[in-house]
């Protein structure tokens, strides 16, 4: 426990100055002093952190996680079970970034901390296999992803799933919650549309490359098709470049930064083209990562390309709102509440455009309390940290039900799945839609 002894030394003997020992970080992707020293531990982030709100403990707050990173760098804390637990528990929702007056780039810190964990900490054998398979061999591999999706579709459609649900087998192995979170696999994958160009209807106002996403292409094809329709009906030509791949968000969030970098290079090569006015995505999580390719590839020779690419990336709501909607064919007279996806509100600082689009088609918005607080989905968090995720979700459902909304709208597929599971859990019967799905119904 040598780190503890030195802890106490720092407390009284050395007064207020900070003793930096030999760092327990090593290798690439280290959280640097320049990154974490912007935190002055004022604590203004605490009440904005979903895990702190649920657990009430400093270790599971942004300030506390940054302090743990500092302690690892100062050699007082090892990269071991405790550090890994608390860094794993972070949703990476980045609500703390919006709350932080000091401009701490918390997302960068936690992603680097995770990269260090991947390099220096050995997880249990099974976890290692699953993580490696999923992050290295599935998301970025169209063929394998399609095969797995096909298997899952068989499970969902053959009656196996309802059998498993009804005989209690899922509950027995603790998988009932996870089963509920599965997306319904599409009959036809959006991958078939790769390489296509969809012409603008009427006068062409812009031309964009559409980043379709990996899981979205096997489980949210309908949303992707709706996105193409809404864009083309608004005078935008949509190309779906064939060479694109998964954005690498889940990999980067999990600490697999090399895998994320490889995907970033593919996407830049496929979509950085002067013919495109923008690279558009309908997933807030993907958009946030695509916009941060500059940071991801900082040590790469391709840095300037990455930054040019990042500047072109636009969330679909951001792009439509900036170009202006054509008058919709129908109005939707409904009262709705909007859940800010974390990687839109905090990651990309986009809050008003989706709301403006909804109002433009006649939706009356009623804000729920804490609309910009995470629903607990957070990429694969609801799978890896299911129990905590469900607690966060239940709090979200309380906020939803405090409104008189007839519809819940969001702008990210992960949030949609989570919110639907939440409706199930809370026995609420509200539909959950993507902004684009609402617009699609009006054109």
- Report residue 305 as tokens: 């390309």
Decide whether 61 or 244 has the Cβ nearer to other proteins.
61
Angle at 276 between CA 270 and CA 279, to 5 degrees: 65
Helix (H), strand (E) at residue 337: strand 335-338
Decide whether 2 or 122 has the Cβ nearer to other proteins.
2
The rounded distance, in Å, linking the Cα atoms of 35 and 106 is: 8
Decide whether 33 or 154 has the Cβ nearer to other proteins.
33
Give the interface segment with other proteins, choosing from 57-65, 124-132, 162-170, 287-295 (CB under 8 A).
57-65
Decide whether 195 or 369 has the Cβ nearer to other proteins.
369
Size of the site for other proteins (CB under 8 A): 48
- Report residue 126 as tokens: 């099974």
The residue from 23, 67, 235, 273 that contacts other proteins (CB under 8 A) is 67
The rounded distance, in Å, linking the Cα atoms of 433 and 402 is: 19
Does 387 participate in binding other proteins (rule CB under 8 A)? Answer: no
Rounded to 5 degrees, what are φ and ψ at 178? -65, -40
Q: How far is the CB of 366 from other proteins (least distance, A)?
A: 13
Helix (H), strand (E) at residue 293: helix 293-296
- Per-residue burial over 202-239, b if 16 or more Cβ lie within 10 Å, else e, is eeeebbbbbbbbbbbbbbbbbbbbbbbbbbbbbbbbbb
Decide whether 39 or 206 has the Cβ nearer to other proteins.
39
Q: How far is the CB of 14 from other proteins (least distance, A)?
A: 8
Give the interface segment with other proteins, choosing from 31-39, 175-183, 234-242, 256-264 (CB under 8 A).
31-39
Residue 264 burial class via C-beta count within 10 angstroms: exposed 0-12, middle 13-18, buried 19 and up: buried
Listed in order, strand segments (DSSP E) in 5-134 are none
Does 17 participate in binding other proteins (rule CB under 8 A)? Answer: yes
Does 12 participate in binding other proteins (rule CB under 8 A)? Answer: yes
Decide whether 101 or 174 has the Cβ nearer to other proteins.
101
Q: How far is the CB of 211 from other proteins (least distance, A)?
A: 29
> 281 pairs with which residues across the strands?
211, 315
Instruction: Give CA torsion, residues 313, 251, 179, 342, to 10 deg.
Output: -40
End-to-end CA distance of the chain: 65
Does 82 participate in binding other proteins (rule CB under 8 A)? Answer: yes
The residue from 50, 51, 73, 76 that contacts other proteins (CB under 8 A) is 76
Give the interface segment with other proteins, choosing from 14-22, 207-215, 392-400, 422-430 (CB under 8 A).
14-22
The rounded distance, in Å, linking the Cα atoms of 293 and 306 is: 5
CB atoms within 10 A of CB 369: 11
Decide whether 68 or 234 has the Cβ nearer to other proteins.
68
Instruction: Give CA torsion, residues 164, 167, 170, 173, to 10 deg.
Output: -130
Find the binding residues for other proteins in span 91-130 (CB under 8 A): 99-104
Q: How far is the CB of 4 from other proteins (least distance, A)?
A: 4
Decide whether 76 or 112 has the Cβ nearer to other proteins.
76
Does 203 participate in binding other proteins (rule CB under 8 A)? Answer: no
Q: CA 387 from chain center: how many Å?
A: 19
x/- binding map, residues 395-434, to other proteins, per CB under 8 A?
----------------------------------------
Q: Are 414 and 377 in contact (CB under 8 A)?
A: yes
The rounded distance, in Å, linking the Cα atoms of 266 and 248 is: 10
Does 4 participate in binding other proteins (rule CB under 8 A)? Answer: yes
Decide whether 70 or 271 has the Cβ nearer to other proteins.
70
> 365 pairs with which residues across the strands?
336
Which of 427, 228, 418, 257 is closest to 341 using CA atoms? 418
Give the interface segment with other proteins, choosing from 61-69, 175-183, 295-303, 352-360 (CB under 8 A).
61-69
Does 40 participate in binding other proteins (rule CB under 8 A)? Answer: yes
Give the interface segment with other proteins, choosing from 5-13, 282-290, 314-322, 330-338 (CB under 8 A).
5-13
Decide whether 147 or 398 has the Cβ nearer to other proteins.
398
Does 1 participate in binding other proteins (rule CB under 8 A)? Answer: yes
- Give the residues lining the site for other proteins (CB under 8 A): 1, 3-5, 7-8, 10-12, 14-18, 20, 33, 37-48, 56-59, 64, 67-68, 71, 76-77, 80, 82-83, 99-104, 369
């Amino acid at each position: 426990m040598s780190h503890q002894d030195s802890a106490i030394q720092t407390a009284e003997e050395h007064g207020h100055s900070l003793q930096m020992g030999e760092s327990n970080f090593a290798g690439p992707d280290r959280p640097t002093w320049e990154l974490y020293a912007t935190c002055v531990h004022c604590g203004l982030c605490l009440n904005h952190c979903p895990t702190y709100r649920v657990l009430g403990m400093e270790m599971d707050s942004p300030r506390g996680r940054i302090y743990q990173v500092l302690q690892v760098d100062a050699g007082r804390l090892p990269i071991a079970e405790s550090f890994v637990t608390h860094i794993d528990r972070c949703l990476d929702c980045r609500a703390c970034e919006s709350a932080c007056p000091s401009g701490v780039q918390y997302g960068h810190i936690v992603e680097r901390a995770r990269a260090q964990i991947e390099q220096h900490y050995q997880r249990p054998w099974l976890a290692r296999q699953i993580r490696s398979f999923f992050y290295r061999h599935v998301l970025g591999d169209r063929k394998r992803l399609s095969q797995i999706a096909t298997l899952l579709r068989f499970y969902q459609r053959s009656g196996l799933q309802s059998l498993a649900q009804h005989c209690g087998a899922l509950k027995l192995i603790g998988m009932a919650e996870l089963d509920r979170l599965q997306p319904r696999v599409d009959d036809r994958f959006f991958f078939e549309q790769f390489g296509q160009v969809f012409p603008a209807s009427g006068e062409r106002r812009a031309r964009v490359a559409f980043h379709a996403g990996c899981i979205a292409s096997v489980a949210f094809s309908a949303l992707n098709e709706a996105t193409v329709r809404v864009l083309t009906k608004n005078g935008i030509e949509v190309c779906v470049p064939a060479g694109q791949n998964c954005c690498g968000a889940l990999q980067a969030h999990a600490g697999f930064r090399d895998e994320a970098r490889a995907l970033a290079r593919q996407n830049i090569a496929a979509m950085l083209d002067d013919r495109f006015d923008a690279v558009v995505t309908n997933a807030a999580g993907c958009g946030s990562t695509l916009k941060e390719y500059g940071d991801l590839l900082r040590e790469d020779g391709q840095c300037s390309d990455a930054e040019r690419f990042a500047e072109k990336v636009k969330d679909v709501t951001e792009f439509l709102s900036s170009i202006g909607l054509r008058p919709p064919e129908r109005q939707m007279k409904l009262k709705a509440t909007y859940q800010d996806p974390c990687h839109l509100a905090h990651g990309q600082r986009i809050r008003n455009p989706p709301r403006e689009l909804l109002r433009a088609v006649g939706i009356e918005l009623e804000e729920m309390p804490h609309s910009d607080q995470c629903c607990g989905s957070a990429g694969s968090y609801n799978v890896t940290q299911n129990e905590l995720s469900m607690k966060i979700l239940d709090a979200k459902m309380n906020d939803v039900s405090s409104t008189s909304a007839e519809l819940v709208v969001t702008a990210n597929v992960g949030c949609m799945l989570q919110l639907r599971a939440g409706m199930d859990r809370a026995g609420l019967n509200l539909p959950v839609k993507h902004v684009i799905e609402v617009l699609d119904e009006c054109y």
